[in-house]
Amino acid sequence: VKLLLVNPSTLDRPYPVPPLGVCRAATAAESRAEVRVYDAAVDGGEGLTRAVEEFGPDVVGLGIRNVDDAVMGSGAFFPEALRESFVEPIREATRAPLLLGGSGYSIFPRALLDYLGADFGIPGPAEGVLPDLLETLALGGDPAAVPGVLVRGAAPHRKRRAPPTAIPPADLWRWIDYAPYRERGAYPVQTRRGCRKRCLYCTYPLIEGAPGGGLDPGRVADELERVAATLGEVTVEFVDSVFNDPPGRAEAICREIVRRGLRPRLRTMGINPAGVTPELIELMRRAGFGQIDATPDSASPAMLASLRKGFSRRRLEAAARALRQAAMPTMWFFLLGGPGETRETLHETFDFIDRFVSPDDLVSLSGGLRIYPGTPLARLAVADGLVRPGDDLLVPRFYVSPRLGEEGLQDEVDRFLAGRFNCLRASEPGPSPEMLRRAADERRATGSSEPMFRTLLRLRRLGLR
Ligand code: B12
């Protein structure tokens, strides 16, 4: 069987993201199929038809990572372009069945099958299910009989197949050209699948399934060595839901990196403030982290409880103090307007930013929570009358606390942002090409190795955009 996997994403904000999921699916499939990956980030999608015609696949798999950008008011809805620029050309070039998968797909398995008119889909991890599907197709069997495969128009299986616990390294370079990601992107490494947290709005438990044990630190370090040996100096990003969970895991990985004397450039967005200690920050710095993303969502005690974050304001303050004492550059992310948000709770978060966040650090404020099906937030949104029962939520809907309203939220955020140069809205357009160029020039001239966001913030303070 010949399987062509397609990464349709050319999104380059906040930076281009290599198609880790698609490459992992390719690795999972190669024992049962001849596999090729077409990555639209390389040529903007121009070579798609040629790639299909030349390879002559028996199955085409489309990896859907992003459905939208989860930003209220942006109007982004990617399935439309996906249908026009990928599904239609693929259908014209081949009669092979079209398979869907990916993290975005896994949130809307039924709705996206219908919207795109695809033949079948695999919600969740491809490992395990995809080889079974390929074997069945090779034997001329019925895909609807394969556990974990969803067929358009057919009833879903009761059982979902549990993925194998051992995760083989993706070795992206075997499948794609890394060039489009080298400058601004980061090489993704997943050390552990699943999440033990149950935040009110979050899809990760739906996408990744039950938490696994994860790779042992030696395997993680092996992967970093292999990446460096193959690609040279690239930034590596851990894409785990929460890198520092369970407690002690991140520390052990960092220690192994230090012990081997590796010198990687590392980042991760998955740091839970609850587990931030001076020891963890020191270990992360020694392992190669030049900055940390902190994602508390709120600093209001009531909102931390409402969003089910699992840590207290006091714990958050301790984490912020530790970050500042260690002078670790930090990007802070807040999600405002959740259930129960009022002017008072917003001010608790703003007060935290003023008192605990360094003015050299970046604060990103998101207003409105993207409502995803199957989450507790979706049930609340129905109860609050914000969403019709039965809405599949594929077209983005956002939750804003009825006690505040969208306008009230925008007003408060506007007022807070005025004069605070290090704070911005998540919906703000990214830095212009000129600003990026100017930042790069400045860094070259001064030999500065500070995080890029700090250089950009300084230019922003000078009035550049
Ligand atoms: C890490 C991460 C990031 C990092 C990426 C860093 C990096 N260097 O890669 C950063 C912070 C940069 C980021 C940015 C964004 N992200 Co993000 N991100 C994630 C996260 C947590 C993990 C993704 C990942 O790498 N997983 C590991 C891989 C191995 O798993 P996977 O991709 O799911 O692949 C498996 C399966 O899906 C399946 N599979 C994958 N492809 C295929 C294909 C076929 C044919 C088949 C059968 C199966 C299959 O098999 C794979 C192996 O098991 C997910 C949430 C999540 N838990 O999945 C959100 C997620 C993908 N992100 C999301 C969003 C919205 C964004 C942004 C648009 C946010 C923004 N406004 O900036 C940007 C877009 C960036 C871009 N250019 O594309 C959303 C997408 C949903 C949506 N609303 O569309 C998600 C799902 C989070 C959420 N809200 O639920 N993200």
| Ligand 1 atom 44: residue of nearest CA | 101
Lowest mean pLDDT among 150-164, 297-311, 349-363: 150-164
Of ligand 1's atoms, which has the minimum distance to the CA of residue 5? 45
| Contact indicator for 60, 52 with CB cutoff of 8 Å | yes
Token representation of residue 166: 């051992």
Q: How far is the CA of 20 from the centre of ligand 1 (A)?
A: 9
Of ligand 1's atoms, which has the minimum distance to the CA of residue 126? 50
Rounded to an integer, the average pLDDT of 80-108 is: 98
Q: E strand or H helix at 284, and its extent? A: helix 278-287
pLDDT at 319 over 70: yes
Q: How far is the CA of 18 from the centre of ligand 1 (A)?
A: 10
The DSSP-derived string for 344-398 is HHHHHHHHHHHHHS-TTSEEEEEESEE--TTSHHHHHHHHTTSS-TT----S--E
Q: How far is the CA of 125 from the centre of ligand 1 (A)?
A: 12
Q: What is the pLDDT of residue 184?
A: 85
User: Positive or negative CA dihedral for 151, 190, 367, 439?
Assistant: negative
Q: What is the pLDDT of residue 231?
A: 97
Q: Give pLDDT tens digits for 272-309.
A: 998 899 999 999 999 999 999 999 999 999 999 999 99
Residue 103 pLDDT class (50, 70, 90 cuts):
very high
% of the chain residues with pLDDT over 90: 87
pLDDT at 445 over 80: yes
Q: Give pLDDT tens digits for 57-86.
A: 999 999 999 999 999 999 999 999 999 999
Q: How far is the CA of 418 from the centre of ligand 1 (A)?
A: 33
The beta strand positions in 102-144, using DSSP E, are 120-121
| Contact indicator for 101, 116 with CB cutoff of 8 Å | no
pLDDT at 437 over 70: yes
Q: What is the pLDDT of residue 210?
A: 82
Q: What is the pLDDT of residue 183?
A: 85
Give me the chain's average pLDDT, please: 94
Residue 463 pLDDT class (50, 70, 90 cuts):
confident
Q: What is the pLDDT of residue 155?
A: 80
Residues flanking ligand 1, CB < 6 Å: 5, 9, 11-14, 16-17, 20-22, 24-25, 61-63, 65-71, 99, 101-104, 106, 122, 125-127, 130, 186, 188, 190, 203-204, 207-208, 237, 239, 241, 269, 370
Which of 65, 67, 178, 184 for a ligand 1 pocket mutation test, highest count of atoms within 8 Å of Cβ? 65
Q: What is the pLDDT of residue 274?
A: 86
pLDDT at 162 over 90: no
Residue 161 pLDDT class (50, 70, 90 cuts):
low
| Ligand 1 atom 1: residue of nearest CA | 239
Q: What is the pLDDT of residue 291?
A: 93
pLDDT at 458 over 80: yes
Residue 348 pLDDT class (50, 70, 90 cuts):
very high
Rounded to an integer, the average pLDDT of 158-172 is: 75
Which of 10, 17, 116 for a ligand 1 pocket mutation test, highest count of atoms within 8 Å of Cβ? 17
